[in-house]
Structure 1
Amino acid sequence: MGGFTLDDILATRKPRDSWWTVFAVDPVACRLALLTANHTSITPNGLTGLSMLLGVVSAASFAAGSLAAGAALFYLSFTVDCMDGKIARLKGTGSPFGLWLDYVGDRLRVGACAFGFALGQGGVESLWLAAGIVSLDLFRYVNGPQLLNVREAARNRVRAAGGDPVFVEDVLLANPLADPRDASIVDLQSAFRRRFPWFDRFRLFLGRRRVRTHLMSGIEFHAAIFVIAPLFGVAAMFWTALATGALLAAFEAALVYRTWLAAREADRVVPERVKVLV
């Protein structure tokens, strides 16, 4: 049906992604996406729907006490979820509704599997654990857009000073391996870089491997609890959820701290730009 190559599929990957996706999922998802693109007419929304269905079956397996089956199905569900965006970018068939459906599918998979596990194990502690997993997952999705709003408000303050500024974030988005120390661009992360001078080396090291710096994101959180830990039993799921939940909270706190520094940097940059432009 199509003449796509593996290189075509690889070109649709995100410039940077979670390390779990890059190393443990994309090698499988890209090849499945190639077969799907060339031999089926399934749409990205159809793949999202399939991912949601697999997520529900995974939750049912956890509820039945079949932890290994639940883990395998969760991994397969996420793999299919990684395929829909690739197919959409490859064929130009993405849609705004597809973005919403993808978001709902992710939340459905996590919530269903968390409470499916709690149902299978019984006990108040399992319900509290499930509630904690879902709450942390939702918090990061609420926190992320709000931090973006703060960042955009800080950038708008700099823009209002005039001069059509170019921001480091935009340069790095276009080229993750770029050097951010160019004096001609506005770096609202300069205070963060001064406090953590090793960060750029770390970022470049990960960027060469297509890995983003947020090493404990929701994706790793889900994978640790619902893919890896179930292979080692119930106790492993409890302790893994607690440990990775703490790491996820710490990384989110680091993002808040970095955004706060950027907002303060904007307050410092604006008067300087006004003086120069006047």
Structure 2
Amino acid sequence: MGGFTLDDILATRKPRDSWWTVFMVDPLACRLALLVANHTSITPNALTRLSMLIGFASAAAFTEGMLVAGAVLFYLSFTVDCMDGKIARLKGTGTPFGLWLDYVGDRVRVVCCAFGWGFGEYTRTGDTDVVLAAVGVVVLDLFRYINGPQLKRVKDATRALLETRLEGQYVLAESVLRSRPRSELEQAAAEFEQTAEDTGATVVDLQKAFHARFPWYDRFRVFLVRHRVRTHVVSGIEFHAAVFVVAPLFGAAALVPVAAVAGTLLLTFEMFLVYRVWLASRQVPRTAAEREKILV
């Protein structure tokens, strides 16, 4: 049906993604997406629905105590979920409703799988800790996906305020640096300003205060960016992988401790994000009038 190549599929990947997706899922998802693109007419929304069905099968397996089967099915569900966006970007067959379906499908899958292994293990062992762990997983997942959009609102408001003060003529330092270290920021900014001389855009560094406090972080950032990995090392994706793939493979005894450790790491990195956004928001000088105009 199509003459797509693996390079075509690779070009549809996100510029940066979670390390679990980059190293553990994309190598398989890209090759499966190539088969789907060339030999079927399956739409991205159909792949999303298939991902949800496999997720329900994973939850059923967890409920029946088949932890390894549940882990494998959850991994396959996430793999298919990673394919829908690639097919949408490759063929241009995505729909606006698909964004909602993908988002809600992820949340439903997590809730079903969490209560699947939580109450499934409780009925077999009577251990209430596993039920509490399941509830904790759901609460943390909801917190993660509430916190993300709220942080985005703060970022957007900060940039809107910056745009007002600089009359729209600016570019963020991270956009100029990309995979270059911060030691080259002045050079990168000078190169940018030469090429953008007509616009008069100014390079603005909203992360200056953060990097002053954590100078080692830039080396870590550069390493991850060069490997297409985002700096939010433990996100919802890694959390789900730990709870629904790694822990079940080690048996029922691993469910609670792995969920506890993964949850702690998730919260730590979420608070790290909040701190970075807070510092960035303080980099923009503000007046009362501007706050009323932009932030309310």
User: If the TM-score is normalised by the length of the shorter chain, which range does it land in?
Assistant: over 0.9
C-alpha contact (below 8 Å) 2:207/2:280 kept by paired residues: yes
Contact 1:9 1:90 in 2 (8 A): yes
> Is residue 133–residue 241 contact of structure 1 (8 Å, CA) maintained in 2?
yes
Question: Which residue pairs with 1:177 in the alignment?
Answer: 179
Rounded to whole Å, the distance in 1 between the matches of 2:115 and 2:139 is: 12
Q: Distance in 2 between matches of 1:76 and 1:258?
A: 34
Partners of 1:134 and 1:262 in 2: CA distance: 30
* Amino acid in the other structure paired with 2:73: L
1:153 and 2:157 correspond? yes
Cα drift, residue 169 of structure 1: 6.2
Query: How far apart in 1 are the matches of 2:244 and 2:87?
Result: 26
Alignment correspondent of 2:233: 215
Q: What is the number of equivalent residue pairs in this alignment?
A: 268
Unaligned runs of 5+ in 2: 190-201, 288-296
Gap change, CA 1:169 and 1:36, over 3 Å in 2:
farther
Aligned partners of 1:41 and 1:189: how far apart in 2? 45
1:251 to 269, 283, 296: 269
Structure 1 position 164, deviation (Å): 2.4
SS in structure 1 opposite 2:42? coil
Deviation at 1:247, TM superposition (A): 0.3
Q: Work out the CA distance in 2 between the residues paired with 1:120 and 1:237.
A: 12
Matches within 5 A, 1:11-22: 11-22=11-22
Provide the residue aligned with 2:196 in structure 1. none
> Of the candidates 221, 224, 229, which is equivalent to residue 203 of structure 1?
221
Q: Which moved more, 1:200-209 or 1:40-49?
A: 200-209
Code of the residue aligned with 1:261 in structure 2: it is L
Code of the aligned partner of 1:74: F
* Residue number in structure 1 paired with 2:199: none
When structure 1 is superposed on structure 2, of 193-202 and 54-63 the one drifting more is: 193-202
Q: Aligned-pair distance for 1:223?
A: 0.5
Structure 2 CA distance for partners of 1:237 and 1:176, relative to 1, 3 Å: farther
Does the CA contact (< 8 Å) of 2:173 and 2:203 recur in 1? no
Q: Find the partner of 1:190 among 180, 193, 208.
A: 208
The 1-side partners of 2:286 and 2:169 are apart by 15
**Equivalent-residue separation in structure 2 for 1:158 and 1:229 (angstroms):** 45
Provide the residue aligned with 2:281 in structure 1.
263
Deviation track 1:63-119 (CA, whole Å, cap 9, x = no partner) reads 000000000000000000000000000001111110100001111111100000112
- Mapped partners of 2:181, 2:218: distance in 1: 9
Of the candidates 116, 136, 142, which is equivalent to residue 138 of structure 1?
A: 142
Alignment map for 1:33-72 (pairs within 5 Å)? 33-72=33-72
Q: Which moved more, 1:154-163 or 1:135-144?
A: 154-163
User: What's the offset of the Cα at 1:254?
Assistant: 0.4
In structure 1, stretches of 5+ residues that fail to align are 270-278
Shift in Å, 1:26: 0.2
Q: What's the counterpart of residue 73 of structure 1? A: 73
In the TM superposition, residue 228 of structure 1 has moved relative to its aligned partner by 1.1
Give the C-alpha shift of residue 266 in structure 1: 1.2
**Equivalent-residue separation in structure 2 for 1:192 and 1:85 (angstroms):** 33
Partners of 2:5 and 2:100 lie apart in 1 by: 29
Amino acid of the residue matched to residue 251 of structure 1? F
1:152 shift after superposition? 1.2
**Residue 276 of structure 1 corresponds to which residue in structure 2?**
none
Query: CA offsets per residue over residues 205-237 of structure 1, 9 Å max, x none?
Result: 111111111110110110011111111111111
SS for the counterpart of 2:283 is: helix
SS at match of 1:267: coil
For the residue of structure 1 that corresponds to 2:204, the secondary structure is: coil
Distance in 2 (CA, whole Å) between partners of 1:255 and 1:138 is 16
TM-score by length of 2: 0.87
Q: Quick one: which of 240, 243, 249 aligns to 2:258? A: 240
Please give the secondary structure, in 2, of the residue aligned with 1:167.
strand
Query: What is the letter of the counterpart of residue 97 of structure 2?
Result: F
In 2, distance between residues paired with 1:169 and 1:11?
A: 25
Task: Kindly provide the amino acid, as one letter, of the partner of residue 176 in structure 1.
Answer: R
Shift of 1:177: 1.5
**Cα distance 1:143–1:169, how it changes in 2: closer, same or farther (>3 A)?**
farther
TM-score by length of 1: 0.92
CA distance in 2, matches of 1:200, 1:170: 11
1 CA distance for matches of 2:242 and 2:101? 24
Are the aligned partners of 1:158 and 1:165 in contact in 2 as well (CA < 8 Å)? no
